[in-house]
Every structure is written in C-alpha cells, then in structure tokens.
Amino acid sequence: MIPIDHVIGLSALLFGIGAIGVLVRRNLIVMLMSIELMLNAANLAFVAFNRVWPGMDSTKALDGQVFVLLVITVAAAEVAVGLGILLALFRNRDSVDPEEASLLKW
C-alpha cells in the first residue's frame, strides 16, 4: 500500500503550485488552469482520506469519492463559465491580462 502522508504531501505541493500560478501569472487562461490544479489537489486529498478512513456504514464507505465526483462536475461548470467570461473580456478589451480589466477599480 502506498504511504498516505506522501499522497497528502503531493496534494499540498500541487495546491501550492496552483496558488502560485493564480497569484503570479497574468494570463487569465493560465490562471484558470492553476485553479484546476488546486481543485485537483483537493480531490487527491479527498480520495486519500477516503482510503484511510472509509465510512463505517457500507453505503457511506465512499463519501470521499462521491465528493470528488461533485468537485469534478463543479470544476467543469466553472471552466465553462470562466472561459465564457474570458472570451467576453477579450472581445471588449482585446487582452486576457486581468490588470486590464480595471473598470470597477477605484
């Protein structure tokens, strides 16, 4: 069996890389990809914890995996809407740099 603390360590590492991507990059597409990385890190932690502590009840044994399926669905929805926003921004501003979208900034 693979060591669970290594899995959680990998999850933390992926989350950190994703956070750095969101904070540092100035390309909205890459920022969305980094958000996907962070969601995947959370999914990995869900699956790992589900493996260590499966629920007692037999129908509840897979809670973590059910959550992962929900996160994947919401991630797909988020990407669809995010890229729609990005296309609208690109049409109006001719750039995907979030610094350019400063109309509401005071």
Judged by CB under 8 A, the residue of 42, 77, 98, 101 near other proteins is 77
- Asked if residue 64 lies in contact with residue 46, where contact means CB atoms within 8 angstroms, the answer is yes
> CB 106 → other proteins: shortest distance, Å?
19
> CB 18 → other proteins: shortest distance, Å?
7
Residue spans of alpha helices (H) in 25-62 = 28-52
Q: Is 68 in the site for other proteins (CB under 8 A)?
A: yes
- State which of positions 23-62 bind other proteins (CB under 8 A): 23-27, 29-30, 32-34, 36-37, 40, 43-44, 47-48, 50-52, 54, 58-62
Judged on CB neighbours under 10 Å (0-12, 13-18, 19+), 60 is exposed
- Type of residue found at 28: L
Q: How many residues bind other proteins (CB under 8 A)?
A: 72
Q: Is 100 in the site for other proteins (CB under 8 A)?
A: no
- Asked if residue 37 lies in contact with residue 4, where contact means CB atoms within 8 angstroms, the answer is no
